[in-house]
Amino acid sequence: MTWQDKRVTVAGLGVSGLPAARVLHGLGAVVTVVNEGDDARSRAQAAELEALGVTVRLGDATLLPEGTELVVTAPGWRPDKPLFRAAAAAGVPVWGDVELAWQLRDLNGRKPAPWLAVTGTNGKTTTVRMLASILRAAGLRTAAVGNIGVSLLDAVLGDEPYDVLAVELSSYQLHWAPSLRVHSAAVLNIAPDHLDWHGSLAAYAADKGRVYEGNSVACVYNVADPATEELVRAADVEEGCRAIGFTLGAPGPSQLGVVDGILVDRAFVADRHKQAQELAEVTDIGRPPARHPSPAGASRPPVAAPHNIANALAAAALARGFGVEPAAVRDGLRDFRPDAHRIEHVDEVAGVTFIDDSKATNTHAAEASLAAYDPIVWIAGGLAKGARFDDLVIGAAKRLRGVVLIGAERALIAEALARHAPEVPVVDLDRTDTGAMSAAVREAARLARPGDTVLLAPACASMDMFANYNKRGEAFADAVRELAAETD
């Protein structure tokens, strides 16, 4: 594509719009940025771009600038906005930041690095970081990019000559990436999320499924989630591309799974009907050290929750499809350390283990956390985002020693508990101040017995009480440390 004098409208300032505008201007395009906000931050960003010669319109992003030949949008902008309706009516294509990076990936004259892509409702970040760790263990130059870490534009246009990229993609990004065609991809799971943006679960799943379009080697799916396999069946892939399943059980042909605590590959072997390749032990899957040392001789939490074993299998499948040897899978999983607030062991106090999974901001993520421990005192609540909690409570009821509820919409969880687990003690903290977390930890410790796990897996967003899930997890860890100091 010739960019010189091409008239491009960039929708939205911020983490994707600002670099997109800079890059396009540098390529010679005539760039106009439209932004709904007109606050101090937006004005500062606008001034930066205007100094380069970019036109910026703040406070109104409904009209398509005259002469626009391409719209590049921030991924979170809803597809029903008037700007996009006007673009469709005028026959103007709309790209997201991922599509722009894909189109520019060979601009620097080097052979573009292949993309190994991961999407799904939950587990994307962990899986991509596992995959990057495995690829590095194989001696490959790589980075975790996309909806995580290094921006894709920086990765494809920078000076670093990558061998392969581990790419996290959200449903928003995939919606706006019409020509994306990656080496291999995985959809980890499908559960209701962002339905206000996509309009329906079917539309949300279809956007996730876009990641399989044009795959050349492997479409990796979750055997336990038939919706992911259906997306593979519906995808138009290159000839020879294979469907590769991952399962927590014993794998069948063309699958990766677990046998007697060993991660096993029956997909990328000479005879998948008769052979299996050991990749790693479940105990090889890395974990961060406790933030507060446990007493000598104290028991440790499980090495990996079931959903993180599944994430490891998905990462291994993508790596094996790229030709990575089994030893690198093992070494990469050993080197991997999950991000904070994802099944993070905080401390053990009086024989009770405290686990921070503040990142469990929806019911699907919380379900995975709750399945990893037994018995549990569960700390939950926040902003429900329209979720219902009946299925979550039904699945976890037998594991619950007690529940402590916090947050603005905790009543929704309380009602589900009353319907499906009326015998479980519930402490309803009628407060949404940040100090409520300290009270929640103390109430949970009171309900717990030695050998139990106190699990922060809120199943809700955090913004009613905290700036983000990180701050919520930090408040939990601080409260546990205070409790530990008093107990020592």
Check if CATH label 3.60.10.10 holds for domain 344-487: no
- pLDDT tier at 290 (50, 70, 90 boundaries)? very low
Residue 456, token pair as written in the block: 């922060």
Contact 444, 402 (CB under 8 A): yes
424 has pLDDT over 90: yes
User: C-alpha distances in angstroms, 191 versus 197, 208, 445, 463?
Assistant: 14, 11, 32, 22
In angstroms, rounded to a whole number, what is the distance separating the alpha carbons of residues 36 and 408?
A: 28
Model confidence at 330, in pLDDT bands (50, 70, 90)? very high
Q: Output the six-digit token pair for 262.
A: 């060993």
Q: What is the pLDDT of residue 296?
A: 39
Report residue 261: phi and psi, to 5°. Answer: 75, 10
State both tokens at 411.
């009543």
Residue type, position 254, single letter: S
Q: Which two tokens stand for residue 99?
A: 């599509």
- For residues 253-282, average pLDDT: 96
Structure tokens at 105: 């990936």
Which structure tokens are listed for 292? 């507060």
User: Torsions phi, psi of 354, nearest 5?
Assistant: -110, 120
* Alpha-carbon span 183 to 176, nearest angstrom: 19
Nearest to 130 by CA among 76, 183, 168: 168
Any alpha helices (H) in 151-290, and if so which ranges?
152-157, 171-175, 195-198, 201-209, 226-234
- Is pLDDT of 286 > 80? no
Q: What is the CA radius of gyration of the chain?
A: 24
Residue 340 pLDDT exceeds 60: yes
Give SS3 for 470.
helix
Across the chain, what does the average pLDDT equal? 92
Residues near 239 by Cβ (< 8 Å), separated by ≥ 6? none
Per-residue pLDDT tens over the stretch 202-258: 999 999 999 999 999 999 999 999 999 999 999 999 999 999 999 999 999 999 999
As a whole number, mean pLDDT of residues 416-425 equals 97
* CA 276 to mean position of chain CA atoms: 30
- pLDDT over 90 for what percent of the chain? 80
Instruction: With cut-offs at 50, 70 and 90, classify the pLDDT of residue 297.
Output: very low
> What are the helix (H) ranges across 178-286?
195-198, 201-209, 226-234
Q: 483: closest CA among 435, 448, 438, 431?
A: 438
pLDDT at 160: 87
Domain 102-335 in this protein, CATH class? alpha beta
Q: Where are the domains of the chain?
A: 7-92, 102-335, 344-487
Residues 249, 258: contact at Cβ < 8 Å?
A: yes
The fold adopted by the segment(s) 7-92 is: Rossmann fold (3.40.50)
Q: What is the pLDDT of residue 116?
A: 98
* Average pLDDT, integer, range 338-354: 89
Stretch 246-274: mean pLDDT: 97
